[in-house]
Amino acid sequence: MPKRKKRIVIKVGSNVLAQNNGGLDVKSIEQLTRQIAALNKQGIEIILISSGAVAAGRSLINLPKKTDMISQRQLFAAVGQIKLINIYAEQFAQQGCLSAQVLVTKEDFRDREHYINMKNCITVLLQNNVLPILNENDVISVTELMFTDNDELAGLVSSMVDADKLIILSNVKGIYNGSPGKPSSEVIPVIEYGDTSFENFISSEKSNFGRGGMLTKCSIANKVASLGIPVQIANGRDENILTDILEGKTVGTLFTPKKNISSIKKWVAHSEGFVKGIVYIDEGAEKALRSNKPNSLLPVGVTKIEGSFKKGDIIKITGTSGKQLGVGRAEYNSEKATELMHKKNEKALVHYDYLFLNDHQLI
* Interacting residues with ligand GLU (CB under 6 A): 14, 51-55, 135-136, 138, 149-150, 210-212
Close Cβ partners of 10 (under 8 Å, ≥ 6 residues apart) = 36, 46, 47, 48, 49, 166, 167, 169, 242
Q: Which is nearer to ligand GLU, 149 or 313 (CB)?
A: 149
Q: Which is nearer to ligand GLU, 148 or 240 (CB)?
A: 148
Task: State in angstroms the smallest separation of the CB of 309 from ligand GLU.
Answer: 31
Task: State in angstroms the smallest separation of the CB of 257 from ligand GLU.
Answer: 23
Q: Which is nearer to ligand GLU, 212 or 228 (CB)?
A: 212
Task: State in angstroms the smallest separation of the CB of 209 from ligand GLU.
Answer: 7
Task: State in angstroms the smallest separation of the CB of 154 from ligand GLU.
Answer: 9
Q: Which is nearer to ligand GLU, 29 or 53 (CB)?
A: 53
Close Cβ partners of 61 (under 8 Å, ≥ 6 residues apart) = 75, 76, 79
Task: State in angstroms the smallest separation of the CB of 9 from ligand GLU.
Answer: 14
Alpha-carbon torsion 248, 212, 163, 192, what sign? positive
Task: State in angstroms the smallest separation of the CB of 281 from ligand GLU.
Answer: 35
Q: Which is nearer to ligand GLU, 54 or 202 (CB)?
A: 54
Q: Which is nearer to ligand GLU, 174 or 212 (CB)?
A: 212
Task: State in angstroms the smallest separation of the CB of 150 from ligand GLU.
Answer: 3
> Strand pairing partners for 277?
307, 315
Q: Which is nearer to ligand GLU, 148 or 177 (CB)?
A: 148
Q: Are 23 and 59 in contact (CB under 8 A)?
A: yes
Q: Which is nearer to ligand GLU, 105 or 271 (CB)?
A: 105
CA dist., res. 209 & res. 104, Å (int): 20
Task: State in angstroms the smallest separation of the CB of 153 from ligand GLU.
Answer: 8
Q: Which residue is nearest to ligand GLU (CB)?
A: 210
